[in-house]
Every structure is written in C-alpha cells, then in structure tokens.
Structure 1
Amino acid sequence: MRFLKIESIRQKIKQNTKGIQKNRSNHSHPFSSDIHKNEERLKQQLNSSEDIIFHDFIIPLHDGHSLKALLVLVDGLINEDAIRNNVLEQLTEESLESPQGEELKKVKERIAIFNIKNEDNLEKAVFQLLKGNTLLLLDGYSEGLVLNAPGYEVRAIAEPQSDRAVRGAHEGFIELSPTNIALLRRRIPHPSLQFETIKIGEFSQTDITLGYIKGIVDPKLIERLKQRLDQIKVDEINNSGEIEQFIEDHPFSIFPTIGNTERPDVASALLMEGRIMIIVNGDPVSLYIPSLFLENMKSIEDYSSRPYYSSFIRLMRFFSFIISISLPALYIAAINFHKVMIPSEMIVPIIQARETVPFPLTMEVFMMILMFEVVREAGVRLPQQIGIALSIVGALILGQVSVSAGLVGAPTIVVVSISYIAAFVITPIADVTALLRIGLFIASSLFGGYGLIVAVLGLLTHMISLTSLGVPYMAPFAPFYFQDWKDSLIRLPLRWKKHRPKSIPNQRATRIKSLPKTGDK
C-alpha cells in the first residue's frame, strides 16, 4: 500500500510538472515592447526567407505624434487588396484618436477585417503567419494582432470524379477546410452541428476538424476519438489517409474500418445517424467514424429512387462482391480438384481450349489476374483520355490476341474478366477485393474446395472480430439487429425507417415523428 501511494504521488507530480512545462513552453517567447527587436527576432525565426514581407509604416495620432507599425505577411498567401484597403488605408489616411496606452485597442477597432486575434507569443504568431494570416505589430506594445485575410488560390467546388451521382447534388468537398465546413453547415443549419479543430504535426500544423451533431452522437465516441488524436505526435500530416491509419482499431487488417467520402450530401446524412466527420485541411476526402462493412454496398442514390429498384441494385452489389473475390478460386478448384462440379456439356469445350496452352492452369489464371491489375492501375494513373484508351486496347490485347496466340485459354479470360468487371460495382473496397481474390485463389490452388471453404470461414471470422471505434464492423449481422435489416440487404420504404439504426450508438433514436397518411382509396 505504501508503494502504491508513493507511485500515485509520483504520477501526480509528473503530471503537474508536465502541465507547468507545457504552460512555460507556450509563453516562453513573448513579444518585446520594442518593434525593432520584434522585427529582428521574427527574421531570425523565419531565417530571412525571401517570401516573407516586412512592411514598415506610420500611424498618425490625433495629438500630432505618430506611432510606428510593422506588417508581416507571406507573399502569395494573403489578400493584398484586403490588407491595402482594410488595414493600411484605414490606419494611415486619418489620424487615430485614442488616449495614450490604448492605441492597440483603437487600431483593432479601426481595421475592417472580421477575424482579428490578439497574440503575445512570438512562436505562435509565426505559425499563424505561415498559415496565411497577417501579423501587425505596434511600437511600445508587447502584443500583436493576427489578421485573417487569406488570398491564395483554391479549387472551385465541383462534383467528385470518383463518386458521381445521376440523381442528387453535384458538388463535392475541396482542399480548404472552411469551405467544406460551410458546405455541411448549409445542409444542416442547426446549432447542434458543432465543429472542433485541433492541430496535429509539429512542422505541418495541420488543422484537423471534428464535426458532429450534439444530442445525436454518442459522447463516448467523441471522447474516444479525441484521446486517439491527442496521442498522435508526428512531424507532419499530409492527407486524411495518414489520420485513418493512425486511429483505426485494427491497423493490420485489409478492411478499412474508417470510411471516407468527398460528397457533402453523404457526409450530412452520416452526421444525422450519429457519426463523426473528420475534415483534414488540404485534403478533399473527409473521414467518418464509425464505419460498417454494409456501407460499402450502399449509395446515396439508393434513397432518391424507389425502394424496389434500389433493393435490386443493392442485392446486385452483394452478389458482385462474392463473384469478384471467389470466381477465379471456384474455377481453379473445379478444373483441378472437383471435375464432377462441371456440367458434362462444358467439359469438351474447356478441354479443347486448354490443348494449345503451354502453361499450367494455376499459372495461367494467376498471370491473367496480375496482368488485369497492371492494366487497371495504368488506366487509373495515366491521364483520363490515355487511360481510357489503354484500358480498351489492353483488354483487347490480353483477350483476343492472347487466345489467338494460344497463350491463354478462352474460359480463363472469361472468368477473370467477369471477376474484375464485378469489382467495378463496389469501388469503395476495390483494393480489398483485389487482395481477397488473390488470397482465395491461392487457397483454392493448394487445397481445392476444402481450402476455399476454410479460407472463407477464416475471412468471416476475421470480419466479425473487427470494430470501428469500438462499434462492431459487421453490424447489423453480427451482432444481430433485426430492426436495422430494413436498410441492409434490401431497402424498405423510407416511411418504415422511423428510428435510427441501432448499429450506430446515438442519443436520439426517433428519426421520423409523423408523416401524412396516403394510399387511401
């Protein structure tokens, strides 16, 4: 007991020491009241970089005196017209009427910029400056003003290339976080929609914004996510994929347990279910958590169409996923191990197609899988027009020419082609289907149908064990939530979805309170 008490006291002292050191580090570089010393220290901090502009000017005072001022900004990151018209002209054209010692307060009132913050820490001011803000310093004050007037070029809002919609909104996120937040705010104009921003990366200082709806989202999920983000201590964050890999529950699984989207309409719908959005500044792809396997089979357009066709399309996606990962494995198991599975009418054509092929069947199928992956990857990485042409020409070469030359059998081309075409229906997990296709094919090549069955059972066991921020990945199938089956394999009418899914923890179960009575004769 004495040892435990001593250890608890040590931990408290250690935590208090860390807090004191953190507070000291935040205030270890205060500004000087001498504007020339501040300028020299800023130049030392910024290493006299050529894109940093130091502009000296004089602010006339009402009593006939003047006040020295210094503007520090980064060329190319600020709006020069806004600084010239709303700062310089406002401070230099008319004399400043203010009692001595209160010039900083009057200057702040005179500047015609909405977002102005006081800053007394030189190191923090440097980071704000390099983020695209402007720093204004006055002689005699050990405090500066940080002016938010960015002016760098941004991409216009357009529909995402990888997630197009036939019926629905044709707008997508861009690389600027404030714009993405505004797109979400425009769709959910309610005070319960809240955003919190933290900075990650010692050098990059990347803004990571968490978005959620208070009153719907489970507070435990928010706390759990914040704890993981606070533990990230890295030099830089370049994109949302790095955040995804740092905070996911199972970093060594091939299945992504954190979803992503570029569409504001999808993000707003997910927020209304109790999800948390993660917006990374500089990346148009936003993350959402928790994410379930079932969502890879869904589309935002499913809720814009009638439930009958939407249900048919969703069943087709499930069937395409199974066909994509298992068809080559079934083909190799039937030909090499279980010939009784092949109908008698198909045996002769398959044998005739295999007569001129110089390679074993396993090697033949594996080569075709790898070549199709090469063609697909080349079509994605090349410019759009060249990529489309390469995909068509590559498919023709791999298909017709290989069969004509006797290098590959026609049944192999058909099987592998169907497997890859089926994968295009479920593009969110295209990388997962490619790996599963090869894994099941290897198991089937070594042990036949028994190896395929064992591999599938192992795959299902692994999927059931996965979680997304503590939420079961395979819900509502495991664990079983029958209520959520209304929007799983099929989509029932929207008026039957009165409650939010139990698969996602939330604080507001009821989604639809009342609807008009229709359908009466």
Structure 2
Amino acid sequence: MKRYANIKKLLKNMKERQKEGNSNDKWQPFSTNINENEKTLRQQLGTSQDVMFTKFTIKLQNGDRLSAMLVAIDGLVKEDAKRDNVLKPLIENPLQEKLNKDLKQIQERLSTKKATLEDNLSKAVFQILKAKALLIVDGFNNGLLITIEGFETRAIEEPDTEQAVRGAREGFIESTGVNVSLLRRRVAHPSLRFETIEIGKFSQTGVTIAYIKDIVDLDLVQRVKHRLDKIKVDSISSSGDVEQLIEDHPYSILPTIGNTERPDKAAALLMEGRVLLLIDGNPFCLYVPHLFLESFQNIEDYNSRPYYSSFIRLLRFLAFFISISFPALYISVLNFNKSLIPSDMIVPLIQARETVPFPLAMEVIMMILMFEVVREAGVRLPKQLGSALSIVGALILGDVSVSAGLVGAPTIVIVSISYIAAFVITPIADVTALIRIGLFIASSVFGSYGLCMAMLGLLTHMVSLTSLGVPYMTPFSPSHFQDWKDGIIRFPTKLLKQRPKSIPNKRTTRMKSLPKTGDKQ
C-alpha cells in the first residue's frame, strides 16, 4: 500500500510538472545582453513581417550611450504614439544620471498611459501580442511594458438585435476597453469592480468580470471566478464558448446564462446584483444569474407607462404559447379529437385536405422545416437579399404549394402564425423552434395525451434548472410574491422599491425616499 501511494504521488508530481511546462506563465528571465534578448524574442515571435524591432541609443549627460530596443506588433500599437511619446523623449534629450535597476528615469520621460516593469521574458512576449510595446535596455535584466495600443475598432452603434424606440442608441463593440468605459459612464461609483482573467493557451482571450461590490452576493462572484479558473482550453473564440463551459446545465435546450449588447441594460443588471462577463473581441455581454421570466422582459418596458408595458408582456407570454403549441394542437384536433372542431369549420377543413396527397403529420412537418430553411437563408444572406427572400420567398412558397395541392391552406395559416408569434420573443426564438417540433412529434403520435405529457415534462425540466445556483423559474418556483410586481405585469416604478429577492444581493432597498405627487400642491 505504501509503495502504491508513493507511485501515485510520483505520477501526480509528473503531471503537475508537465502542466507547469505547458503553461504560458512559465518563468524565463531577461538577459543583461540586449542581443541575447533579441535572439530569444525572434525565436519566440518568429519572422513575421508585422513584428517590429526598433533599435536606438539612449544618451547620458556624461557622454555614455546605452543600446535600447523597442519591440511591438505593427497594427496593434499607435505609430505616432510610439514615435512621439517613446522614441523622441529618449533619443533627443540626454538623461541626467545613470539608470536605476527599475528604469525609473525612463518611465518619467515617457508620455504614455501606463508603463510597468517586467522581469519575466515569457510573460512579456504574450503582452506584446496583446498590443503592448516592450522596451529593453542593454545591461538590464528586465524590460518596460508600455501601453500604446492603437488597433482599429468599430464605431459605437445601436445593436440590431435589441433596438428600442425610447432609449439609448449605444451598443457594446468588440473592444473590452470601450465596453468598460460605457459601463463606467452609467455606474459612476467606486464599488464597481472589473477583474480580468485570460483564458485559452493560444488565444489568451481576456474575460472581464464586472460587478458592484456593495450590491452583489460575493458567493456568486466566487462561483463565477472558480468556474472560469477551471477552464483549460486552447482557445476561446466567442461568448458562446464561455457560456457553454460555465453554465449549470450544458445539455439543456434552455439558456441559463443571459446575453445583451445594450450598455443600459447591462448597467441595470449590475444594479440588481448580477455578475457580467465581457469577452474581448465580442460585443455580447454575458450575465448571471439569468431567469426564464427575463426572456419576456425588455429594457424599453421601463421607459414606457406601466399599463402598456404590462399589456405587451402579456402579449409576449401569449405569443410564446401560440408559437410552441399551435402546430401540435392543430394535428391533435384533426387526427384525434375531431369533436372539438366547430361544426362550421369541419367542411372547409375537409375540403382543404382532399387534394393533399400527404398525411397531415408529414404535411405540417414539411412546412415547419421549409419555414426554418427560409428563415435561416434570410439570416445568412446579405441584408438586401435576406429581407427580400424572407418576405417574397415565404409568400411564393406558400401560394404555389397551396395552388399545386401539395399543402392545405389551413396548414400554411397555422404554421405561419406559429412562426410570426416567435418573432415577438426573439431572445428565445431558437429554443421556441425546438420546443415546437418536440411538442408536434408528441402530439402527432399520442394526440392530446402526448401533448399534455410533453408540456408537463417541459415544465418539470424548466423547474429543475438553475443559473449559477439560482432557480431558473424563480419568482414562480420557488415563489417570491414580492417579485411578481415586475413579473408577468409591471407595477408602477414607485412600487418597485425593493430589489428582486430572486437575485441574491446584499442591498435589498433601492428607493429610500420619493417625492409626494399624489396630492395637490
């Protein structure tokens, strides 16, 4: 037993050494010889034409000259900042005294946002690839990492997926620095925190965690950090990768991690105690926890009067039920429960079915799949062609199919209504399509009994889901009656004084006092 324990311990140590050897943060010291440092950097960075090694000399007032080198990636740093803020101050004006080990005299000369001392050459290489410039001086076993990034970014625009009639016209872009500044402008408080973790051995993708320290439940923040730390992959290419790697139920069709492109919505989520994840190079911001109810809410609900907002929310719930159940109810009634059809509608339905050569189930599923093909083609094609195909293609397809007797007109109407209703709830339109097909299959095989059992199974699955430990169906299961004020309907803003109990937070009250406006002044 003792020998077995020693062998097991030895294998564990070997795995840890191998893991450390593959890590990007392994230790590699600078050499005091600038030529050896250049040789090492060229070996690691290769001979790519965008890697710039700029050599120059630094003058001292006593007449001595020091060889120096600035290493940067062309296109990732600002050329004018490199020339005017780094090279000119060091070349034109001699330094008054000999350099210290921390290169303090050079740091004082630079007119840049930030310059930090680095003594790990391996780490410096990865910082160069992330838009930093590395300054090396002959005779010193360290270097200065200078922040002069200057790559092109997209302009701030309103996101196409979350447009608002009355609201901000700003959306996140692919630069995390810009996205952080958009949040800072809306939450100007020192308790707003940003912490960045780099994920991916090769991609080194920055994932920034954002939260308000005085509001958020710190246990939730620790759970998010723990899951991000456990991700050991080669690359992270999008926010979808992070979402699927940290969610509680990766095999569920329902999303338990939310996303948004709107800074105003993200700021409102922070004020409720949520944790945001900003992925570098992606305009979508993830947030946890995410509840099922939020798929039917919109940031514009809070910019409109509560009565119309409540009506629209009820309409979204109705549209969701229509979208997932209409094809299933249609085939269930026609094939299994004909007695439920009003007498005035029986004859038109029978006449519409007489010329159709396919069984009803095949007819409906053909139309569902064809509508999915048209929708997908409209999304993937260029905007001018996509919009035309979505409208004209669907009209021609439906009209010709009915005229040729391949599909009945009632089937076209039912499937069309189902798809149009799904556009009202775009955050879960993809989930709606899968649920629609699942309920249709159950109904086509077992009738109304299959439809009821499938709906019950779906509801049971939804109740069992969690989002980073928070129940997905809250405030309904478990029940938090206080949160129903902003649930299916929205109460007036003055009555929403407390933060949602469904979301863990440390500061329950968000409105301490309000003006009295009900009485005549």
TM-score (norm 2): 0.96
Q: After the TM superposition, which of the residue ranges 419-428 and 17-26 deviates more from structure 2?
A: 17-26
Aligned to 1:45: 44
For 2:374, the equivalent position in structure 1 comes to: 375
In structure 2, distance between residues paired with 1:171 and 1:103: 42
What is the identity, as a one-letter code, of the residue corresponding to 2:320? F
Corresponding residue number in structure 1 for 2:138: 139
Does the 8 Å CA contact 2:471/2:478 hold for their aligned counterparts?
A: yes
CA contact (8 A) 2:24 2:201 kept: no
Matches within 5 A, 1:157-168: 157-168=156-167
Q: Which residue of 1 aligns with 2:78?
A: 79
Deviation of the 1:48 alpha carbon? 2.1
Q: Measure how far apart 1:392 and its partner are.
A: 1.2
Give SS of 1:58's match: strand
AA at the equivalent of 1:79: K
Q: How do 1:504-515 and structure 2 match up within 5 A?
A: 504-515=503-514
Identity fraction in percent: 64
Q: Where does residue 56 of structure 1 map in the other structure?
A: 55
In the alignment, what sits opposite 1:310? 309
Match of 1:183 in 2: 182
Distance in 2 (CA, whole Å) between partners of 1:448 and 1:409 is: 20
Against the structure 1 CA distance between its residues 81 and 423, is the aligned structure 2 distance closer, same or farther, given a 3 Å change threshold?
A: same
Query: 2:382, 2:132 → 1: CA distance?
Result: 36
Distance 2:86 2:349 in 1: 80
Map of 1:156 onto structure 2: 155
Q: CA deviation at 1:10?
A: 6.9
Partner Cα separation in structure 2 for residue 453 and residue 37 of structure 1: 74
SS at match of 2:93: coil
Q: Paired residue for 1:193?
A: 192
Q: Is the 8 A contact 2:23 2:201 kept in 1?
A: no
The Cα of 1:111 is off from its aligned counterpart by: 0.8
- In the TM superposition, residue 24 of structure 1 has moved relative to its aligned partner by 11
Kindly state the Cα deviation for residue 43 of structure 1 after the two structures are TM-superposed. Answer: 0.5
CA contact (8 A) 2:20 2:26 kept: no
Counterpart code for 2:124: A
Q: What letter matches 1:51 in structure 2? A: D
Match of 2:295, as an amino acid?
Answer: N
Give the distance between the partners of 1:450 and 1:387, measured in 2 at CA: 40
Helix, strand or coil for the counterpart of 2:272? Answer: coil
SS at match of 2:253: coil
Letter in 2 for 1:483: Q
Provide, for residues 420-454 of structure 1, a one-character-per-residue CA deviation record: whole Å limited to 9, x for no partner.
00000000001100000000000000000000000
1:377 and 1:471 mapped to 2: Cα distance?
33
2:103 alignment partner, SS class:
helix
Seen in structure 2, the aligned counterparts of structure 1 residues 25 and 354 have a Cα distance that, compared at 3 Å, is closer
* Alpha-carbon shift at residue 26 of structure 1 (Å): 4.4
TM-fit CA distance, 1:23: 13
**Pairwise mapping of residues 231-310 of structure 1 onto structure 2 (< 5 A)?**
231-310=230-309
User: 22-31 or 480-489: which moved more?
Assistant: 22-31
Distance change >3 Å, CA 404–CA 25, structure 1 → 2: closer
1:224-278 Cα shifts (integer Å, max 9, x gaps): 1111111000000011000000000000000000000000000000000000000
Is 1:113 aligned to 2:78, yes or no? no
Show the counterpart of 2:125. Answer: 126
Distance between the aligned counterparts of 1:61 and 1:417, measured in 2?
79
Counterpart code for 2:324: I
Aligned-CA RMSD value: 2.1
Per the TM alignment, residue 99 of structure 1 is displaced from its structure 2 partner at its CA by: 3.0
- Name the counterpart of 1:518: 517
Tell me if the contact between 2:186 and 2:267 (Cα under 8 Å) persists in the aligned partners: yes
Instruction: Determine the C-alpha separation between the residues in 2 that align with 1:249 and 1:27.
Output: 32
Per-residue CA shift, 1:398-421, capped at 9, x if unaligned? 221211111111100000000000
Distance across 1 between alignment mates of 2:420 and 2:99: 76
**Equivalent residue for 2:495?**
496
With the length of structure 1 as denominator, give the TM-score of the two structures: 0.96
Unaligned segments of structure 1, at least 5 residues: none
1:14 deviation in Å? 6.5
Could you tell me which amino acid in structure 2 is paired with residue 184 of structure 1? L
Q: Letter of the aligned partner of 1:151 in structure 2?
A: G
User: How far off is 1:363 after superposition?
Assistant: 0.5
8 Å Cα contact 2:61-2:97 kept in structure 1 = yes
User: Quick check: 2:216–2:273 contact (8 Å CA) kept in 1?
Assistant: yes
- Separation in 1, partners of 2:90, 2:490: 62
Instruction: Indicate how the Cα distance of structure 1 residues 366 and 291 shifts in structure 2: closer, same or farther if over 3 A, else same.
Output: same
Q: Which residue of 2 aligns with 1:169?
A: 168
Tell me the amino acid that sits aligned with residue 460 of structure 1.
L
Structure 1 371/20 Cα, relative in aligned 2: closer, same or farther at 3 Å? closer
Report the secondary structure of 1:376's partner residue: helix
Take 2:23 and 2:250, find their aligned partners in 1: how far apart are those partners?
A: 36
Matches within 5 A, 1:283-362: 283-362=282-361
The CA deviation at 1:28 is 2.8
Structure 1 distance, partners of 2:469, 2:486, is 22
Which residue identity is paired with 2:159? P
Alignment-mate amino acid for residue 411 of structure 1? P
Which amino acid counterpart does residue 204 of structure 1 have in structure 2?
Answer: S
Where 2:519 maps in the other structure, the secondary structure is: coil
CA distance in 1, matches of 2:26, 2:359: 71
TM alignment of 1:415-494, pairs within 5 A: 415-494=414-493
Is the partner of 1:272 in helix, strand or coil?
A: helix
Which residues of structure 2 form unaligned runs of 5+? none
Change (3 A) 1:103 1:122: closer
Q: Aligned partners of 2:222, 2:113: CA distance in 1, in Å? A: 32
Structure 1 residues 518 and 24 mapped into 2: Cα distance closer, same or farther (>3 Å)? closer
Give deviations 1:83-107, integer Å, cap 9, x for gaps.
1000111011111112354582211
Q: Is the 8 A contact 2:101 2:140 kept in 1?
A: no
The farther-off stretch of 240-249 and 95-104 is 95-104
SS in 1 for 2:40: helix
CA 1:421–1:24: 2 relative to 1, 3 Å: closer
Whole-angstrom distance in 1 between the partners of 2:505 and 2:334: 50
Q: Is the 8 A contact 2:24 2:123 kept in 1?
A: no
Distance 1:327 1:347 in 2: 18
**Counterpart for residue 205 of structure 1:** 204
With over 3 angstroms needed to count, the CA separation of the structure-2 counterparts of 1:131 and 1:366, relative to structure 1, is same
Distance change in 2, residues 1:327/1:27 (3 Å): closer
Runs of 4+ in 1 over 6 A off after TM superposition: 17-20, 22-25
Counterpart-to-counterpart distance in 1, 2:409 and 2:24: 70
1:103–1:331: structure 2 CA closer, same or farther, 3 Å change rule? closer
Query: How far off its partner does 1:214 sit?
Result: 0.5
Cα separation, 2, equivalents of 1:371 and 1:417: 11
Q: How far off is 1:76 after superposition?
A: 1.2
Deviation at 1:77, TM superposition (A): 1.1
Q: How many Å separate the matches in 2 of 1:150 and 1:452?
A: 57
Deviation at 1:117, TM superposition (A): 1.0
Deviations 1:145-169 (A, max 9, x none): 0111111110000000111110000
- Alignment check: 8 A CA contact 2:24 2:122 kept: no
SS, match of residue 333 in structure 1? helix
* Cα distance change of structure 1 residues 105 and 372 upon mapping to structure 2, 3 Å threshold: same
1:465-500 alpha-carbon deviations (Å, 9 max, x no partner): 000000000000000111000000100001001100
Matched residue of 1:217: which SS?
coil
